């Protein structure tokens, strides 16, 4: 596990060395002070030697300053390395997620990935910081203090030698159960984050259906589950620290009792007893520190395993070595499906797409219709390799899409998904996702083609108007048109519109279709639409039924020859009537 995380902290190696060195100096300074105090009590005070007392006092003050200075330096070095480690690890996880396919993200869930990027990384980061501060200091102080107690009085030191095994046994028995409880707590946190995310994304639906109380109950259940898991884990700490304090106080009482009798009979000096008790405290507090670090390690282990699970996951979509990408403009946008089948679960026998064959030539408008769940969206998601085909081939410009570099493939495809996704920022910044180098003229042309420029110019800031998160200050139709304009800015070889005109009126939709024909003659346009009126002018129409291609032709051919298409068309005519 250490090997997995070492690359993220190796650039801070010098801090990992300087931190423990600072701790070493700090510990030596602290350990010398009880010894010097015993000299004051046993030598300076009985002799009433003020000069000796002042001399030793000045040394102790200097040692205290040294301890404080090097303690602060250790805190700086440990914070620098742990914070840097956390930043590197978060970046690595985020970069990994960017390479994930939809299937990979579905496996973990968005909420779980957010938890791993934030809370799990924080747990490991905090543990590293604590370890660098305490894991060197505590053992060093424990060993040195134990040696000093033995040198002062070996007989009295036997008391601590009895206490240490008892304390270590208690810590072992408690920590043995810690990992499982902390792992459960992180899973409950995943669940809670999922509930919060789902609610905030769908808050308008929640309010429109007056389901606030239902959502509060769902959140409360997840929140209570996390609380119960947290309490079970916290119970370990609740049990551990009273046990530690009982052993600490019992050892101190036994030391004072036995040591007091030794002072009474003159076999031990008063100053020696005072310093001995100080070292006893340092020994036991060191053990408490070590126990606390191990408690943190148990918790961070659960987080570390969850993070490693993400880092070790191989993306489903893998680039193959590519020597040359075809640039023949005659083939630009030509798509061929050859015996394509797809299933979400590789081990399942249930195919969502089954043995699809068709060809879309450059510049054609291809429409896809079918009942809900027939596989329309899944089919178009295969073209930019958001999912990979299970069987068969998809060819773009005469070459298997798996032979393209992913960036090259997706740069040729403009896609407007069912869910219109916009980002915080200006309208211009959102449109530039399609082409970062586009100038104002090109942006305006794409907005005009998408029937968006009129409403953009109606805003006080025009293209520089700020959008709220996910375009919250836009209507559904406005979002759709901005997303279409963004895709058009790519000047793609293939433009995929997945039910992307459902929120616009018929006149605007007609203008959009005209733009496709006039401004994107060389672009192959694939449209998924629920309204037959949106696709009657398409060059070819695919009819899907339960993942199978059951019809392929133009509107008139299908209306005459295809029963399923005719049923869809007639049902919509009845609704219109």
DSSP code for 347: T
pLDDT band at 328 (very low <50, low <70, confident <90, very high): low
- What gap in Å lies between CA 569 and CA 499, rounded to an integer? 17
Listed residue (176, 303, 285) closest to 236, CA to CA:
176
For residue 576, the model assigns a pLDDT of 46
Per-residue pLDDT tens over the stretch 80-96: 888 889 899 999 989 88
Handedness of CA 467, 470, 476, 478 (dihedral sign): positive
pLDDT: is 2 or 328 the higher one?
Answer: 2
| pLDDT surpassing 50 at residue 300 | yes
Structural domain 2-311, CATH architecture: Up-down Bundle (1.20)
Per-residue pLDDT tens over the stretch 199-230: 766 676 676 667 778 888 888 888 888 888 87
First to last CA, the chain: 67
Token pair belonging to 181: 């409880």
The average confidence (pLDDT) of the chain is 81
Per-residue pLDDT tens over the stretch 366-409: 989 888 888 888 899 999 988 889 999 999 988 888 888 888 88
If one counts every other C-beta atom within 10 angstroms of the C-beta of residue 224, the result is 12
Per-residue pLDDT tens over the stretch 508-566: 777 777 777 777 778 898 988 777 777 888 889 999 988 899 889 888 888 888 888 88
- Matching residue, tokens 């769940």: 373
Rg (CA), the chain: 35
If one counts every other C-beta atom within 10 angstroms of the C-beta of residue 44, the result is 20
Per-residue pLDDT tens over the stretch 131-184: 877 777 778 777 877 787 777 777 777 777 777 787 777 777 776 776 677 778
Contacts of residue 108, Cβ cutoff 8 Å, sequence gap at least 6: 116, 310, 313
Parts of the chain belonging to CATH 3.40.50.300 = 329-576
Beta strands in 401-560 (DSSP E): 413-416, 425-426, 466-467, 494-498, 524-528, 540-545, 548-553
Per-residue pLDDT tens over the stretch 23-47: 888 888 887 887 788 778 778 777 7
| pLDDT surpassing 90 at residue 342 | yes
What superfamily would CATH give domain 329-576?
Answer: P-loop containing nucleotide triphosphate hydrolases (3.40.50.300)
For residue 326, the model assigns a pLDDT of 52
For residue 355, the model assigns a pLDDT of 92
Pairing outcome for strands 365-370 and 540-545? parallel
Helix (H) or strand (E) holding 358: strand 353-360
For residue 322, the model assigns a pLDDT of 54
Listed residue (461, 460, 456) closest to 478, CA to CA:
456
For residue 179, the model assigns a pLDDT of 63
- What gap in Å lies between CA 395 and CA 382, rounded to an integer? 11
Parts of the chain belonging to CATH 1.20.1560.10 = 2-311
Contacts of residue 394, Cβ cutoff 8 Å, sequence gap at least 6: 335, 336, 337, 338, 340, 382, 383, 400, 401
Asked whether the beta carbons of 547 and 528 are under 8 A apart, the reply is no
DSSP code for 373: T
Asked whether the beta carbons of 78 and 19 are under 8 A apart, the reply is yes
For residue 335, the model assigns a pLDDT of 92
DSSP code for 79: H
For residue 577, the model assigns a pLDDT of 45
Please state the rounded mean pLDDT for residues 489-494.
88
pLDDT: is 505 or 109 the higher one?
Answer: 109
φ/ψ of 495, rounded to 5, equals -115, 120
Asked whether the beta carbons of 189 and 226 are under 8 A apart, the reply is yes
Q: Map 450-519 to HEC letters.
A: CCCHHHHHHCCCHHHCEECHHHCCCCHHHHHHHHHHHHHCCCCCEEEEECCCCCCCHHHHHHHHHHHHHH
**3-state secondary structure (DSSP) of residue 188:** helix
Task: Please state whether the predicted TM-score (pTM) of the whole model is above 0.85.
Answer: no
| pLDDT surpassing 50 at residue 323 | no
- What gap in Å lies between CA 515 and CA 529, rounded to an integer? 17
| pLDDT surpassing 60 at residue 325 | no
| Range scoring the smallest mean pLDDT among 71-80, 175-184, 350-359, 484-493 | 175-184
Contacts of residue 123, Cβ cutoff 8 Å, sequence gap at least 6: 296, 299, 300, 302, 303
- What gap in Å lies between CA 32 and CA 423, rounded to an integer? 60
Please state the rounded mean pLDDT for residues 182-205.
75
For residue 357, the model assigns a pLDDT of 93
Q: What percent of the chain has pLDDT over 90?
A: 6
- What gap in Å lies between CA 293 and CA 295, rounded to an integer? 5
């Amino acid at each position: 596990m250490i090997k997995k995380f070492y690359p993220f902290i190796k650039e801070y190696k010098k801090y990992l060395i300087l931190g423990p060195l600072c701790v070493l100096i700090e510990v030596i300074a602290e350990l010398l002070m009880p010894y010097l105090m015993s000299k004051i009590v046993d030598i300076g005070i009985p002799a009433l030697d003020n000069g000796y007392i002042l001399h030793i006092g000045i040394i102790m003050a200097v040692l205290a300053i040294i301890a404080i200075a090097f303690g602060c330096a250790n805190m700086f070095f440990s914070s620098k390395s742990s914070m840097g480690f956390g930043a590197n690890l978060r970046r690595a996880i985020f970069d990994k997620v960017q390479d994930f396919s939809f299937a990979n993200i579905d496996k973990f869930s968005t909420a779980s990935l957010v938890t791993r990027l934030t809370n799990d990384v924080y747990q490991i980061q905090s543990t590293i910081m604590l370890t660098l501060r305490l894991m060197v200091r505590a053992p060093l102080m424990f060993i040195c203090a134990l040696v000093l107690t033995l040198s002062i009085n070996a007989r009295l030191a036997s008391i601590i030698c009895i206490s240490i095994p008892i304390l270590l046994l208690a810590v072992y028995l408690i920590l043995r159960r810690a990992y499982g409880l902390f792992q459960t707590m992180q899973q409950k946190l995943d669940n809670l984050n999922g509930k919060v995310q789902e609610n905030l994304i769908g808050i308008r639906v929640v309010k429109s259906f007056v389901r606030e109380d239902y959502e509060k109950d769902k959140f409360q259940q997840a929140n209570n589950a996390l609380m119960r898991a947290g309490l079970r884990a916290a119970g370990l700490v609740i049990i551990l620290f009273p046990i530690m304090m009982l052993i600490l106080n019992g050892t101190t009482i036994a030391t004072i009792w036995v040591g007091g009798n030794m002072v009474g009979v003159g076999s031990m000096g008063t100053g020696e007893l005072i310093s001995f008790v100080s070292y006893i405290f340092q020994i036991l507090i060191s053990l408490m520190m070590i126990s606390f670090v191990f408690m943190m390690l148990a918790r961070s282990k659960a987080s570390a395993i969850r993070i490693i699970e993400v880092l070790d996951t191989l993306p489903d979509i893998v680039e193959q070595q590519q020597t040359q990408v075809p640039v023949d403009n005659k083939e630009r946008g030509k798509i061929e499906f050859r015996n394509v089948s797809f299933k979400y679960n590789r081990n399942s026998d249930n195919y969502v797409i089954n043995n699809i064959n068709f060809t879309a030539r450059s510049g054609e408008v291809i429409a896809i219709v079918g009942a809900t769940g027939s596989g329309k969206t899944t089919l178009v998601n295969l073209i930019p390799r958001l999912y990979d085909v299970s069987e068969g081939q998809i060819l773009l410009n005469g070459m298997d899409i798996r032979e393209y570099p992913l960036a090259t493939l997706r740069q040729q495809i403009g896609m407007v998904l069912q869910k219109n996704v916009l980002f915080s920022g200006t309208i211009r910044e959102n449109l530039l996702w399609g082409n970062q180098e586009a100038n104002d003229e090109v942006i305006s042309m794409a907005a005009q083609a998408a029937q968006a420029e009129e409403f953009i110019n109606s805003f006080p800031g025009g293209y520089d108007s700020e959008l709220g998160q996910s375009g919250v200050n836009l209507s559904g139709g406005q979002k759709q048109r901005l997303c279409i304009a963004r895709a058009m800015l790519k000047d793609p070889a293939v433009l995929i519109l997945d039910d992307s005109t459902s929120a616009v009126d018929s006149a605007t939709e007609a203008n959009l279709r005209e733009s496709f024909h006039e401004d994107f003659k060389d672009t192959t346009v694939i449209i998924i639409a629920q309204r037959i009126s949106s696709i009657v002018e398409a060059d070819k129409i695919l009819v899907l039924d339960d993942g199978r291609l059951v019809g392929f032709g133009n509107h008139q051919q299908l209306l005459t020859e295809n029963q399923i298409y005719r049923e869809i068309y007639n049902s919509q005519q009845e609704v219109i009537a």
